[in-house]
Amino acid sequence: MMSEATVADTRRLNLKPQDLTDAYGPPSNFLEIDIFNPQTVGVGRARYTSYELRMRTNLPIFKLKESCVRRRYSDFEWLKNELERDSKIVVPPLPGKALKRQLPFRGDEGIFEESFIEERRQGLEQFINKIAGHPLAQNERCLHMFLQEEAIDRNYVPGKVRQ
């Protein structure tokens, strides 16, 4: 017996009960990228540091669910430029280029100083995790090549992954 309701009906709308496999299953947004194991290779002027980049994910847009590649700082710069040109996202900043550290007559190891390499490693890890999680960046071929192919082909054809 409903008299004219002078009080608003605030009952919840009909909710579909959640499937238990959905409720307790692994989340579908798993994406983790670790940057570790820095190694300095080469001699003299051609010396550089490269980092191991390991990616684990269950996002279907990535072809490989696990991948492991080696990348150097200039590869990250290349990726930043490609994304700034082709995608509409605001690309987060990279850790510094440290030009001062590359000048001669320094008291320390310059850019091969352990503490600097660790600082840079952390910055690169933050950078790549932010980008890889961005739905618009995930559409770019350059990101997939960077994360999952052994070598970066600088002559590649830029484009989108999804139609």
Partner 1 sequence: MSFFGFGQNAELELVLSDAESRRRAEHKTEEGKKEKYFLFYDGETVSGRVILTLKHPNKRLEHKGIKVEFIGQIELYYDRGNHHEFVSLVKDLARPGEFTQSQTFDFEFTHVEKPYESYTGQNVKLRYFLRATVSRRLNDVVKEMDIVVHTLSTYPELNSSIKMEVGIEDCLHIEFEYNKSKYHLKDVIVGKIYFLLVRIKIKHMEIDIIKRETTGTGPNVYHENDTIAKYEIMDGAPVRGESIPIRLFLAGYELTPTMRDINKKFSVRYYLNLVLIDEEERRYFKQQEVVLLRKGDIVRKSMSHQAAIASQLFEGTSSHAEARTPSQPAENNGRQ
What φ, ψ does residue 152 adopt, rounded to 5°? -90, 125
Annotate 136-152 with DSSP letters as a single string.
TGGGBHHHHHHHHSSS-
Q: How far is the CB of 29 from partner 1 (least distance, A)?
A: 5
Q: How far is the CB of 154 from partner 1 (least distance, A)?
A: 28
Judged by CB, which is closer to partner 1: 3, or 155?
3
Report helix, strand or coil for 114: helix
Judged by CB, which is closer to partner 1: 60, or 104?
60
Q: How far is the CB of 137 from partner 1 (least distance, A)?
A: 11
Residues 38 and 97: their CA atoms lie apart, in Å, by: 17
142 and 83 Cβ atoms separated by less than 8 Å: yes
Interface stretch with partner 1, choices 1-9, 43-51, 106-114, 150-158 (CB under 8 A): 1-9
Among positions 68-127, residues that touch partner 1 (CB under 8 A) are: none
Q: Is 27 in the site for partner 1 (CB under 8 A)?
A: yes
Alpha-carbon distances, residue 12 vs 9, 16, 22, 23, 88 (angstroms): 9, 12, 22, 20, 39
Q: Tell me which residue of 46, 65, 39, 32 sits closest to 121, measured CA to CA.
A: 39
Judged by CB, which is closer to partner 1: 67, or 138?
138
Nearby residues of 58 by Cβ (< 8 Å), 6 or more positions away: 26, 28, 30, 65
Size of the site for partner 1 (CB under 8 A): 30
Contact with partner 1 (CB under 8 A) among 41, 61, 64, 151? 61
Among positions 122-161, residues that touch partner 1 (CB under 8 A) are: 130, 133-135, 138
Interacting residues toward partner 1 by CB under 8 A: 2-3, 5-13, 15-16, 18-19, 22-23, 25, 27-29, 59-61, 130, 133-135, 138, 162
